[in-house]
Structure 1
Amino acid sequence: AEHGVRLVLEPLHPMFAADRAVVSTLGQALDLAAPFDADVVGVVVDTYHVWWDPDLQRQVARAGAEGRIASYQVCDWVLPLAAEPLNSRGHVGDGYVDFATITGWVRDAGYAGDVEVEIFNESIWADPADRTLATLAERHVRHVLPHL
């Protein structure tokens, strides 16, 4: 805080609990952030990691009420998972995430910041950049923007 830096906690899908992070839900991240001012500790809502959480709607609302949403990240959960599950993220609209609903919750929670597309996927990385950018833009306009 004395250096003007905001720490941000990002819950990761529970399949990463053994080797990457033990914070698996937005509620857990908010509980860890609670002792600190919201301008000092915030949270990330990353669809890849939290789409499955049955308490997500309530926790997104809580994060908004506490002023803790620092970032909204979108990418899709696609199957089959890659050998490295972290690199299994898909383009918005290719998998199982309900972007209309989650984006609406984030909007209703008062978040009006940037929406980050965060795709770790070796096959997408191998595609020509112009095609990837066109896909990102088209999917954002179709699946995210109408619900912001």
Structure 2
Amino acid sequence: MSEENQILEITHGFYHPIRGYWQTLTRPSQDILDTYPEGTIPYPLKPGEHYSPKNGGWIFVEPTSEPLSDMVKVVFADHIWERMTLKEADQVGAAMKQRDFRTRKIFESVSSYRSDHQIWPLLHQIVTQLFGAERAAQILAPSELVPA
């Protein structure tokens, strides 16, 4: 048995409706599983790049012919807040309290944030400065992509 086959045999998939799909190289201990967000379920391994989770399995999704740079990221507000820890949310809230009233009202009243909207650069800047680029990418991962 090759080393590659051994890794594939011990890989485990998990899915959460907000955080999406991820894999582990070993079976996580119960202590680790207990840290996964509520609603996380074991999930079959992803068969390839152009597959999306559906009903406990995977469906093939035709690759888009539009380059991603021509797509607008849309992140639902509830997804952003659910992806953050309580401490992270408090930090973002504190940073927003320093902004002018109009900006705070726009930030608080929208149901989604779009990468082509005036509030996006500020949101991206705050989250990146507070938590770093990698965590910001997780928090601001698109809920959907729409044509520009």
TM above 0.5, yes or no, is no
Q: TM-score, normalised by structure 1?
A: 0.26
Q: Which has the larger radius of gyration?
A: 2
